Amino acid sequence: MNGISRNATIVLVALLAAPVFAQKDTPKTNNQENHASGPSGNAGQNQPRPATTDTTYVIGPSDELNISVWDEPQLTRPVIVRPDGMISLPLINDVQAAGRTTTQLKDLITEKLNKFKNDPQVTVIVTAINSQRVYVIGQVARAGAYPILPGMNVLQAIASAGGLTLFAKQGSIVVIRTENGKQARFPFDYKDVVNGRSPEQNIVLRPGDTVVVP
């Protein structure tokens, strides 16, 4: 009887352990594999978001860029355009970025890298626009300097500053712009523009414009 009991115990333990070993050997599903490795095989690698998709945008000092060279991680990095308009990259050292579009800068970097690498695949993305600003002052929630986005108008600039305060004189807002050394003033009636009566007053802003809310 002792031998029979011992054999029965061994069989019972083996049956209980079988699902555990089966679970360990179960292959990963496609979803699990994709989650673990990601589309490129590198977990946690996210592409930076562009600050603008406007291909005509001209890069300026203090703008933040992401330079990516395919299959060259040592050449892929975020950079900030220096006050002199230059950026620094391995192998090619200083490159003039300010005054160029992303396409022009990409072509320049590609040309310089051709001396070291065959057919380099370069991508240039503007991740933050810091060189071009407008100023919103007076009776707004957050007066200050704000990056100007392509096509940004007066209403959008006021919204960026948190909107008008209760004390704002909505009909007396003015945009001040300096052109060729001369100051130009553009009136802006908030109520009229919001109600669709004077859409022409909602002008597209330029770098350096100041929106004054009395």
Q: What is the pLDDT of residue 150?
A: 77
Instruction: Find all residues with CB under 8 Å of 158, minimum gap 6, and list them.
Output: 136, 140, 164, 173, 190, 211, 213
Q: How far is CA 47 from CA 41, 60, 84, in A?
A: 14, 22, 28
Mean pLDDT for the stretch of residues 102-111: 97
- Residues 13-24 have a mean pLDDT of 46
Residue 30 has pLDDT above 60, yes or no: no
Query: Does the structure show a pLDDT above 50 at 24?
Result: no
Spatial CA neighbour of 214 closest among 152, 165, 154, 147: 165
Distance, CA of 100 to CA of 108 (rounded, Å): 10
Predicted confidence (pLDDT) at residue 210 exceeds the cutoff of 60: yes
CATH of domain 133-213: 3.10.560.10
**Alpha-carbon span 212 to 176, nearest angstrom:** 7
Q: Residue ranges per domain, the chain?
A: 64-128, 133-213
- Fold match between 64-128 and 133-213? no
Average pLDDT of every residue of the chain: 83
Question: Other CB atoms closer than 10 Å to residue 76's CB: what's the count?
Answer: 15
**Which CATH code fits 64-128?**
3.30.1950.10
- Mean pLDDT (whole number) for 84-98: 95
Residues 98, 85: Cα–Cα separation, whole Å? 5
- On the question of pLDDT at 113 being above 50, the answer is yes
pLDDT at 105: 97
When pLDDT is cut at 50, 70 and 90, the band that residue 69 belongs to is very high
Overall average pLDDT of the 142-157 stretch? 92
pLDDT of the residue at 129: 87
Q: Given pLDDT bands bounded at 50, 70 and 90, which one contains residue 5?
A: low
Q: What is the 3-state secondary structure (H, E, C) of the chain?
A: CHHHHHHHHHHHHHHHHHHHHHHHHCCCCHHHHHHHHCCCCCCCCCCCCCCCCCCCCCCCCCCEEEEEECCCHHHCEEEECCCCCEEEECCCEEEECCCCCHHHHHHHHHHHHCCCCCCCCEEEEEEECCCCEEEEEECECCCEEEECCCCCEHHHHHHHCCCECCCCCHHHEEEEEEECCEEEEEEECHHHHHCCCCHHHCCECCCCCEEEEC
